Amino acid sequence: MKKVLIFGSTGVIGRSTLDVIRRDRNNFKVIGLCVYKNIKLLKEQIDEFEPEYVCVVERNVGESLQTGKGRKLFLGEEGLREFSSVKADISVMAISGVSSLNPLLTTIENVEMVALANKESLVVGGFLVKEQARKFNTKIIPIDSEISALFQLLNLKGRDGLEKVYLTASGGSLLHWEKKDIERAGVKDVLNHPVWKMGKRITVDSATLVNKGFEVVETHYFFDLDYRFIDIIIHKECLMHAMIKFKDNIFFACFYNPDMRIPISFALYYPERRSSIEDFNFFSKPASLSFSPVDYEKFPLLKVILEAAKRGGNSLVVVNACDEVAVDYFLKEKISFYGIFKAVDYIFNLYEYKEVNSLEEIFFWDRWAREKTEEYLRKLC
């Protein structure tokens, strides 16, 4: 029986994880649930899964929560730190944003394995996460579908003669739009992702392809691969999640139904190959797969992310923070879709390259970029 902690249990990944566990109570026991502020759903989850530990990061919201007898309730940032110190077999890290970095580093000390869904922690602090995992001998298994696929492909085929790895991209909600229309796309258009149901920021980041840029960074850290070995291919059906190519021109691909419960199951059961979810019959109706190169002219933000990744230092910290602020402005309809690109481009030309070696430095540059972006966007709207 594996004891599981879930960080971000009311989000899309958290709910999918609980669905996998709901179907196999003999192998998994949820011992902790952590949410930002959705206590309505948290209450239902507590009744169903009866965890020993509960954490609500938004203190004011959590204070009113009746968790029931014998259950430990943690509140606020301090509470999140204590929750991250709970011993378990698996932590599912599905809190979004850079605020996951601290609890991630702490939980790595206290569990056998982390199933990692959060991207920003690797984007801004990949070197810290890797060092911590090595120090405490904790396995990190990716949940992100493309990274999970690559993890499996590289485990199966090894790296001898490896030439390239390919991440597939759905292309997001605006894939078939003309460039001039993309610039003016509305919130509704952008949130209407053709395949995946995800959180709002990541859905916008899929439409700008920023999300794919972040996955290139994840790939770099997870597999110690230089950026020149990583490529992106548009594949709108989202059935193929990654491919690897060897020097003899032979490709291997990882293929599964676009259902996040599949990579989540893979991580939870790892290294066993099992599943608690229903089988999906691909071949019950005709289907086809399409592939096309990325149009960087239409999606200029991706180029900025990849350039920031290659520069290293504080570059990705700054770009990530700016993108998050700008996406929030867009979702509130204060700026146009193209405004996101303008903001990131502005910050990318403004910041000065500096090395980052610590959490403090990461958070310094994160705050710096947020402030500068706010200043810029307030003038723009």
Nearer to Mg ion, 222 or 351 (CB): 222
Task: Give the x-and-dash track for 16-55 against Mg ion (CB under 5 A).
Answer: ----------------------------------------
Site for Mg ion contains 120 (CB under 5 A): no
Picking from 276, 224, 262, 267, the residue whose alpha carbon sits closest to that of residue 111 is: 267
Stretch that binds Mg ion, among 138-146, 271-279, 290-298, 337-345 (CB under 5 A): 138-146
Nearer to Mg ion, 182 or 238 (CB): 238
Site for Mg ion contains 218 (CB under 5 A): no
Find the residue with minimal CB distance to Mg ion: 144
Binding-site size, Mg ion (CB under 5 A): 3
Beta carbons within 10 angstroms of residue 202's beta carbon? 18
Element of type H or E holding 328: helix 315-331
For Mg ion, the binding residues in 226-245 under the rule CB under 5 A are none
Nearer to Mg ion, 3 or 212 (CB): 212
Nearer to Mg ion, 106 or 145 (CB): 145
Amino acid at 148: S
Beta carbons within 10 angstroms of residue 77's beta carbon? 11
In three-state secondary structure terms, 353 is: coil
Contacts of 196-203 with CB under 8 Å at 24 or more apart are: 196/170, 196/238, 196/258, 196/260, 197/12, 198/12, 199/11, 199/12, 199/96, 200/327, 200/331, 201/96, 201/324, 201/327, 201/328, 201/331, 202/96, 203/172, 203/173
Nearer to Mg ion, 170 or 314 (CB): 170
Site for Mg ion contains 144 (CB under 5 A): yes
Nearer to Mg ion, 24 or 231 (CB): 231
Give least dist CB 147 to Mg ion, A: 7
Residues in contact with Mg ion by CB under 5 A are 144-146
